[in-house]
Structure 1
Amino acid sequence: MSTAALVIADAEGLDVVVQGKTLLAHALRGVEAAGCVDFLVVAVPANRLGSYEPIVQARPGTGERCRVLSCDGTRAESIRQAFESLSDTAFDVILLCDAARAFVPPGTVTAVVDAVRAGAPAAVPVLPVTDTVKLVDSSGVIIATEDRSRLRTVQAPFACTPSVLREACARGLDLLTELPGTVRTVAGHQNAIRLTTEFDVSVAEALLNEERA
C-alpha cells in the first residue's frame, strides 16, 4: 500500500537550527526515517518560500519523491491544495504532518500509517492527560471535575484514507486540529510536542540530549 505525506510547514521559525539542522529538516528526516512514505508534499506559505524551499531541496531525492508547494490562506486551505496536488497519483494512505512537531519519532509515524493500513479510516497519536482537569462556569468558578482517565491530548501526524481527507477538505476542516467522527488512537511520544516558542525548542532539545545520553 502506498503512502503520501503532506507536510504542513506553516509555522514561523522552522529555519531555526537545533543540533546542526533546521527544525524543518528534522521534521522531514523523521518522516523519511519511518520508511513507510512513498511521496512527500511540503506546503509552504508564499512569504516563507525563500527560506524554507532550500531546506527541502537539500534533502536527498527531493526531485523524485518530494514536491514543494507554495500555499496561501488557512491551514485547511493548505491541506486541500497539497492533497489536490496528488490528484494524478493514487495513494492508499495520506499522512498529515505538522512541521512544527519537528521531533516526532519515526515509530510514531509508522504506528498511525499501520493503523490505517490495518483498516482504520483514520489514526492519530495521543498522550494521556496527567493533570487534574476542572470545568468552570462563566464566572470562573469550578463546577465539576473531568475524569482524566478518558482524556487524551492529540499530537500529529494524522493518517487517514483518501476518502476521509477528501470529505474533510470539502467541509473546510483542518484535520490537524479538527478530527472527523471515527479516529483510532495510537501511543504518542513526549518528543512530539509542537514547537511554537523558544522555550518549546529548549525543552525538545533537552529531551533529545537526555535520550542520547
Structure 2
Amino acid sequence: MSDDSRPSPAEARTESRVAAVIPAAGRGVRLGPGAPKALRTLSGTPMLIHAVRALAASRHVSLVIVVAPPDGAAEVKSLLDAHALPGDTPGGSWGRTDFLVVPGGDSRQESVRLGLDALPPEYDVVLVHDAARPLVPVDTVDAVIEAVRDGAPAVVPALPLADTVKEVEPAAVPGTPEPVLATPERARLRAVQTPQGFDRDTLVRAHATVTENVTDDASMVEQLGLRVVTVPGHEEAFKVTRPLDLVLAEAVLTRRRLNDGF
C-alpha cells in the first residue's frame, strides 16, 4: 500500500471481486425434445451442474448467478441443492462460492440482463458463461479474469480455426447450392468460446444501450466502440449443441476420470 493508504493498481486488480452469470433458460431444440439443454445429463449429472462446478473451481469466482427458465427457478434451485458436495451448504453456497438462482426471460440477452440486475454492488468483474459449455477448464476461466483485471473492458477465450471458411450467399431454399462470395483469411479468424469476461460497468452499459445485431455479449461491447481482446481458449470448452456433442462430452469426462480422477 502507498503512504496515502490507497491500493496500488496491481492491488486494485487483485481485490476486484468476480461473479459469473450462467444463462440457462434456453430449450436446446437442436438436441431434440425433452428437458431444457442445460438440464440434459452428462455421466448422470446435468450439464448445468458441470458448468457451475467449472466456474466455482476458480478461486477468483465467489458468486455464480444461474438464470433459470422463467417458470423453473425453483426446480433449478432444488437441482443445485441436490448436487451439493460434502462441505457445501445447501441453499446458497458451494465451498467458497455462493450462488443465486433467478428467473430468466424470453431471450438470452434478456436473461443475462436479469442476471446482471441480481448482481450485488460489490462485484466489479462479471463472467458470462454458456451452460452448454460444461467442460471449460479452470485455467481458461482464470485467464479471462486476469485479462479483465489487467484493464481490458471485454475478454473472450478463442481458438484458431482448423477449417477454411467461405462467405456465401444464403440459399432461399435450405439444402440447395449457395454461391461463394469470398474466402476470409483464416489466420485472422477465431472461434469464440465462453466464459466471456467484462468490466461490470461496461457490460451493464452495453445491455442498456445495444439491442440489435447481438451475437454474444462481447459483440455488444464492440458496438459501444470499446476494445475486446482474446485469450487462448481450450478445445474442451466446446458447446454441446447436437447429439454428437453429447458423445464427445461423455468421452472427455471418461478421460478426465481415468487420468485426473475428476
**SS of the residue aligned with 1:133?**
coil
Q: Which residues in structure 2 correspond to 1:108-127 (within 5 Å)?
A: 108-127=140-159
Ranges of 4+ aligned residues in structure 1 off by more than 6 Å = none
3-state SS in 2 of match to 1:199: helix
Q: Tell me the SS of whatever aligns to 1:93.
A: strand
Conserved 8 A contact 1:124-1:159 = yes
The separation in 1 between residues aligned to 2:165 and 2:37, in whole angstroms, is 31
Unpaired runs of 5+ residues, structure 1, are none
TM superposition shift of 1:138: 6.0
* Residues in 2 aligned to 1:130 and 1:205: alpha-carbon distance in whole angstroms: 23
TM-score, normalised to structure 1's length?
Answer: 0.90
Question: Residues 28-47 of structure 1: matches in 2 within 5 Å?
Answer: 28-47=52-71
Question: Which amino acid is the alignment partner of residue 89 of structure 1?
Answer: P
1:98 is the counterpart of 2:142: no
2:10 maps to none
What is the match of residue 133 of structure 1?
Answer: 165
Matched residue type, 2:197: A
Give the share of equivalent positions with the same residue, in percent: 34
Q: What is the match of residue 68 of structure 1? A: 101
CA RMSD of aligned residues (A): 2.0
Q: 2:139 aligns with which of 86, 107, 111?
A: 107
Correspondence 1:163 to 2:201: yes
| Residue deviations 1:17-45 (CA, integer Å, cap 9, x gap) | 22242211111110001111111111001
Aligned partners of 2:164 and 2:186 also within 8 Å: yes
Question: What is the CA-CA distance between 1:137 and the residue it aligns to?
Answer: 4.0
- Paired residue secondary structure (1:80): helix
- Structure number with larger C-alpha Rg: 2
What whole-Å deviation, never above 9, does each CA across 1:73-101 have from its counterpart, x for those lacking one? Answer: 21111111111112x42212011111111
Query: Would you say how many aligned residue pairs link Structure 1 and Structure 2?
Result: 212
Match of 2:114 among 57, 70, 81: 81
Greater relative contact order (CA < 8 Å, ≥ 6 in sequence): 1
Match of 2:40 in 1: 16
Q: Which amino acid aligns with 1:10?
A: A
How far is the alpha carbon of 1:200 from its aligned partner? Answer: 1.0
Q: Tell me the CA shift for residue 160 of structure 1.
A: 0.3
Does structure 1 retain, via aligned residues, the 8 Å contact 2:203–2:221?
A: no
More deviation in 72-81 or 129-138? 129-138
2:219 partner SS: coil
Task: Determine whether 1:54 maps to 2:87.
Answer: no
Q: Secondary structure at the match of 1:120?
A: coil
Question: Are 1:193 and 2:238 an aligned pair?
Answer: yes
* Cα drift, residue 162 of structure 1: 1.1
